Amino acid sequence: MLDRARYGGAARRALGSYVTLGGTLWLEYDVTGRDRAGHLLADVWTGARGGVLVNAAVVAAGYADARPMAPDLRHAAVVRAARDAARAAGCGLWTGGTFARCVGDRVCRRC
């Protein structure tokens, strides 16, 4: 079972490296705006249009899994490719035990 306390903290820190206080973010909606439970469904981008797709960046670092759901599939291929690369490199969730390796690897741009 996934240790939410350990992995949640690591994922939160990684997300903080993309989303800075006072920084610019924008949301890109696809087909639906919310799921059945009322959760917001949007892609998150940093900076000006054409910036970093945070959804894919966090998945590529191994801090989240890709779970695109129809009909909201605009960036599904990009996010799935990020997941496959993280899995192949053994980053984050794919290490089988800790995020520690990927934190260092991300700095070195290996993940």
pLDDT (0 to 100) of residue 2: 53
Task: Name the least confident of 1-15, 25-39, 60-74, 78-92.
Answer: 1-15
- The pTM score is 0.75
Q: What is the pLDDT of residues 54-111, one digit of tens each?
A: 999 999 988 888 888 889 999 999 999 999 999 889 888 888 644 444 444 444 455 5
pLDDT (0 to 100) of residue 77: 96
- Identify whether the C-beta of residue 86 lies closer than 8 Å to the C-beta of residue 110: no
> What's the whole-number mean pLDDT along residues 45-56?
84
Nearest to 83 by CA among 50, 57, 44: 57
